Structure 1
C-alpha cells in the first residue's frame, strides 16, 4: 500500500492545470469548490492512525463546514508577469499547494488560482491527494467544477448527482466480498501468482530489481508513434484475430519479445511475472460508479508463460499460426 512508500506521504498527489476565463471572481471559485467537496466525500477523507504504532489503518470522512471551499483556494496575482516570471509563479504556487496537503487532517484538495486580471485568462491548478482521486475521477470532477462555477456565477449552488454508489459503500461491499465463498476459492490461485515472484525465470531483466538503485530518477522511457493504419490494426483487427482484448495482445507481445531477447543472450526462462494495473471500477450487482470520485486503481500479479521453440517464435512474430491464431 502507498502508506508503505518512502518519502513525504503528504505530497503523494495528482494534479491538473486548466485555463480560467477573464473576469473570474474568487468568490465564484470558492463556492464551486465548496460544491465539489460537498458532492464527493472522498475529497474530505483523512487517514486514521493506529493508537499503538502510529501507522495508517483506515480512512474517515471529515464533516464539511461552510468555509471549506474558501480554505482550499489560494489566489496568486499574476498581473504584469510574463515569461520566466509567470512560470516561476506557477511553480511556486504549485509547491505551496503541495505543502498544504495533509491527509492526516483531511486536507485532500488544494486549488491555486493564478489571477491574470479582468482582461486576461488565468489558470487554476488543482492538486488532490492520490488517496482521494484516480485518473477516471478527473473526468468527473472537471466537468462538475465548470458546472458548479456556472451555477455560482448565476447565484445558484450546484447540487451534484447524489445517486450511484458512494466510495464508502463501495469499500464496505468490497470488504464483504473478500469473505465470500467465491473469493475464498480464488485464494490458492493468487498465492501461486505471488510465489512466482521468487522464480528466477520470472525476472524481466538480467537481475532482480533493487529498490536502492532502480528508482524513478533512473528510469527511462520509449515513445513510439504508430501510423493511423497500424493503429487501426492494433486496436481493431488484431484483438479479434486472437479472440482477446488489446491488453491480451500487448501482454502476448511482451512475453514473446522477452523470450526472443533471452534467447539472443543465452538465458533460460520461459515466462515473466509482472504487476498489472487496472482502473478497478468493475461494478458488482447494484453498483453504479459512473459518478463516484475516489482511488479505485487495482494492482495484481500476473505470471506470463511462453514455451515456444525458436521456429514457433519466428512464426508467431511473423503473424503465422504458431499460437493457434486463426
Structure 2
C-alpha cells in the first residue's frame, strides 16, 4: 500500500513538473542592433523583465542582426509570424508604414523628458499604435537611441557652410540635409567610416555615441548642436495574433516590461549623451552650438517637411498635429 501511495505521489509530482514545462513559452524577437548597442542592451533588459515577471513561464529570446531575418524583411516576417517580435526602427518600412517618419521630423522635441511626455501623455502612442495595428502588429513601446544629428569633417556655423557638401543620409534624413542645402549620399552605416575617410562624403547624420562605439572620431571633426533628434526613437512590437494568444497576466507582463524598458532608455539618454560629449572633447572633436537665430532659420527651412509628412496618411496628420501643438507651446515659430 505504501509503495502504491509513493508511486502515485511521484507520478503527481512528475505530472505537475511536465505541466509547468508545457506551459512555458518562448517568443523570438529580432533586434536590428548589435547586442552591445544601447538599443540592444535595452532589448535584453525588456526580455529579462518579461522572464522575471512571469516566473519563467514566458521567455523572450532575442536574436541579433541577421540571425533570423534581414532588417528590411522584418515587418513582413513579423506580420506572417516568422518572428514573434521586433526591436528596431520602422524606418525600413516607410513604404507601407509612413507614420514612423513623423517621430524623425527634425527638432520635434528638445529633450528625452519632453519626448517621453509627448509619446505617453499627449496621445502620440495611442495614434501610433492604432496605425500599426492595421498591419497585424501590436505596438509595445518606444526605445530611445540617444541623440542623433549632423557630424562633419568641416565646421558648420550657418546654412552657408553646408552648401555643396555631401552628407551620408537616407530616407527622411536625406530630405533633411537636402532642405538645408547639402547633397545626400545613401551610404549604409557600416560603410560610412571608409566613405568619410576617403572623402566620398563630408559628414553623416548619425547618433553621437557612435563617435566612440564605431570610432567615428577618427574621421570626423565637428558635431552640430542642437541635434535633429534629441533623442532618436525606435520601436518595440509584437505580432498581434501571438500577443492575443498569451494569457492576460502574460500580456500585462509584456506591456509592463516594455514600459520599463522605455523609461530606462529615456532616463539613461542624458548620461549617454554626456559620455559622448566628454569623449568627443578628449578626441578633439568640437561641438558647435548653433545660435538661437541660426537654429530658427534651420527650423523654418525644415518645416515644409512636416506638411509633406502629414499628407502621407490620416494618422500622419494626427501625429504631426500633436508635435506642432507641442512645439508651439514651447515657443517655436513656424
Give the TM-score taking structure 2 as reference length.
0.19
Greater fraction of residues in helix: 2
**Which protein has greater RCO, CA pairs closer than 8 Å, 6+ apart?**
2
